[in-house]
């Protein structure tokens, strides 16, 4: 069994690596065809530029600044989304009242949000506000579906056995909602990175990936723009991976005993 | 102490399920409600336990009683182990210091008696269907109650598992003899387990007959002449003839 899992991971790594290799080859070929670093620098040049940038302290301050903004927006979205989503899942009147507001927020283009936020907030908070408005509805929907995901039959069983509400909450309702909450949170994290960087490009706060990207664009340093973008993608992927790993470790709806091989313990 | 159901009627929209259901039974007895599929047997359990209200009729002796329910499907929490599922159902007793140790020993005892002591750390999905049903039975017995309700608890398993389950049930029941209402569509389940069998008609259900089985459990052998007599009678009441 262990061998099979290991093989499947190997295959997965192989195909992913192949996908990355094909992308890099297409990029390199296109770069050679265009033969202008101003329009499309090759992957090696972008990597070299990125490595050079990594040796400078302002670069890491920008990474830290953007990361803190993402963290702030993500946490606000999670708290707000869980609060409104839970209430929506439990109270149909609240859900109906909130529905047009949520539809409005979802339909608003991100750029329009950023431009409006620039009138209302200091430049460092514009990306955070925009990201919260984009990520919070995702979290809200996850929480709303999560609340409604509890099996009615299990709730009925709990009522018959007079299970205390606190036990029902921690042992039944939260584990039932968790897959939807985690899925919502993971998507909210990804969208937070995208909107934060887009907001930074427009609002130009100090210490920000987006600011670095915009300054590089204005100086016509295309390899630097690519390098900033590459760093953003890497950070987004890394935080999503770390978040997924952390959540799987702490909130996996399986007890410790289940970590042993299921196949060897199955009884039929 | 006796329990009685008087003129119980229940409809779901325009669909009338129960029509003036009447029966009574003694404390510490096993009563089987037997009838064709879809005749409203589960509805009777839901009415008795207060999950749904009746349209009309009365329930005597049920007020203020504690119920334990073994559902048609095991209704286990997939992410909790066998022991944790038992603890979940008994959480209200475990949270009180004075009943905690007694409840823990009840959990151990009923898991052992259901043959699941070695599987306490297993997840429900790691168990066979029969074992999940045994866990559901053990949970129902372990939860102290005045009335135990069993809804098709022995169905959807093969013949051997079914016999094992019924033996497990009788073994558990004989310890404390809780008043038990079993709902089944299977004549043999009812004959093997019940002291009294209430036979229902097709929907809208009425009570066709109430039969007292005066054979001790240990003497209930399906091929015996005395059991065959009851079996023939039940087939007749359910509308089957000998050829069918």
What per-residue confidence (pLDDT) applies to B214?
84
Of B67, B75, B89, the CB nearest to A163: B89
Tens of pLDDT, residue by residue over A228-261, are 999 999 999 999 989 888 887 776 554 444 333 3
Domain A42-252 superfamily per CATH: MetI-like (1.10.3720.10)
CB contact under 8 A, B126 and A265: yes
Q: Quick one: how far is CA A153 from the chain centroid?
A: 33
Which chain B residues are within 8 Å of A258, Cβ to Cβ? 81, 123
The span from the CA of A189 to the CA of A204, in Å, is: 21
Average pLDDT, chain A: 87
Distance to chain B for A267, nearest Cα, Å? 5
Enumerate residues 6+ apart whose C-beta is below 8 A from A69: A124, A127, A128, A131, A196, A200, A205, A208
Q: What are the residue boundaries of the structural domains of chain A, listed by start?
A: 42-252
Helix B129-142 to helix B159-176 angle (10° resolution) is 10
Confidence at residue B240, expressed as pLDDT on a 0 to 100 scale: 75
- Nearest to B237, CA basis, from B211, B203, B204: B211
Give the strand pairing for B179-184 and B147-151: parallel
pLDDT attached to residue B115: 85
Which of the two residues, B95 and B195, has the higher pLDDT score? B195
Enumerate residues 80 to 109 of chain A having a beta carbon within 8 A of any beta carbon in chain B. Answer: none
Q: Which of A172, A173, A257 to mutate to test the interface with B (most CBs of B within 10 A)?
A: A257
Do A161 and B73 count as a contact with CB atoms less than 8 A apart?
Answer: no
In chain B, what's the furthest Cα-to-Cα distance? 60
pLDDT at B237 over 90: no
How would you classify residue B38: left for phi > 0, otherwise alpha for psi between -120 and 50, otherwise beta? left
The answer to whether A255 contacts B127, with C-beta atoms less than 8 Å apart, is: no
The predicted structure's pLDDT at residue B217? 80
**Residue B241 scores a pLDDT above 80:** no
Contact A192, A74 (CB under 8 A): yes
Return the pLDDT at A264. Answer: 37
Q: Does position A5 have pLDDT exceeding 80, yes or no? A: no
| Higher-pLDDT residue of B201, B159 | B201
Q: Is the pLDDT of residue A66 over 90?
A: yes
CB contact under 8 A, B131 and A254: no
Judge whether residue A64 has pLDDT over 60.
yes
């Amino acid at each position: 069994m262990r061998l099979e899992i290991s093989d499947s991971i190997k295959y997965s790594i192989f195909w992913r690596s192949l996908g990355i290799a094909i992308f890099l080859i297409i990029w390199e070929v296109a770069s050679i065809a265009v033969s202008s670093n101003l329009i499309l620098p090759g992957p090696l040049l972008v990597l070299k530029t990125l490595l050079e940038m990594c040796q400078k302290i302002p670069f890491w301050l920008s990474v830290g600044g953007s990361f803190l903004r993402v963290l702030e927006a993500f946490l606000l979205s999670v708290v707000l989304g869980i609060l409104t989503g839970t209430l929506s899942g439990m109270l149909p009147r609240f859900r109906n009242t909130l529905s047009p507001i949520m539809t409005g927020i979802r339909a608003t283009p991100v750029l329009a949000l950023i431009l409006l936020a620039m009138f209302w907030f200091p430049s460092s908070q514009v990306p955070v506000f925009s990201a919260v408005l984009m990520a919070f509805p995702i979290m809200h929907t996850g929480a709303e579906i999560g609340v409604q995901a509890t099996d009615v039959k299990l709730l009925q069983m709990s009522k018959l056995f007079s299970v205390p509400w606190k036990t029902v909450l921690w042992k039944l309702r939260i584990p039932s909602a968790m897959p939807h909450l985690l899925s919502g949170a993971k998507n909210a994290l990804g969208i937070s990175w995208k909107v934060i960087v887009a907001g930074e490009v427009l609002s130009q706060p100090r210490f920000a990936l987006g600011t670095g990207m915009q300054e590089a664009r204005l100086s016509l340093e295309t390899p630097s723009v690519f390098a900033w973008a590459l760093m953003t993608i890497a950070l987004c992927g890394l935080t999503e991976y770390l978040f997924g790993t952390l959540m799987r470790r702490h909130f996996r709806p399986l007890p410790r005993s289940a970590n042993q091989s299921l196949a060897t313990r199955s009884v039929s | 102490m006796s329990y009685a159901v008087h003129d119980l009627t229940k409809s779901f929209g325009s669909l009338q399920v129960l029509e003036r259901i009447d029966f009574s039974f003694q404390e510490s007895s096993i009563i089987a409600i037997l009838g064709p599929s879809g005749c409203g047997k589960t509805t009777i359990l839901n009415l008795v336990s207060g999950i749904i209200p009746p349209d009309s009729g009365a329930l005597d002796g049920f007020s203020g009683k504690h119920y334990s329910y073994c559902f048609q499907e095991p209704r286990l929490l997939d992410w909790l182990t066998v022991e944790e599922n038992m603890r979940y159902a008994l959480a209200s007793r475990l949270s009180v210091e004075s009943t905690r140790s007694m409840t823990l020993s009840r959990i151990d005892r009923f898991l052992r008696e259901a043959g699941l002591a070695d599987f306490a750390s297993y997840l429900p999905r790691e168990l066979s269907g029969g074992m999940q049903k045994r866990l559901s039975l053990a949970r129902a017995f372990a939860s102290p109650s005045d009335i135990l309700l069993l809804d098709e608890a022995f169905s959807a398993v093969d013949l051997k598992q079914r016999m094992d389950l019924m033996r497990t049930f009788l073994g558990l029941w004989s310890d404390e003899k809780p008043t038990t209402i079993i709902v089944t569509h299977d004549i043999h389940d009812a004959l093997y387990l019940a002291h009294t069998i209430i036979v229902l008609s097709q929907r809208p259900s009425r009570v066709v007959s109430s039969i007292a089985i005066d054979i001790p459990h240990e003497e209930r052998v399906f091929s015996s002449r005395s059991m065959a007599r009851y079996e023939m009678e039940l087939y007749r009441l359910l509308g089957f003839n000998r050829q069918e």
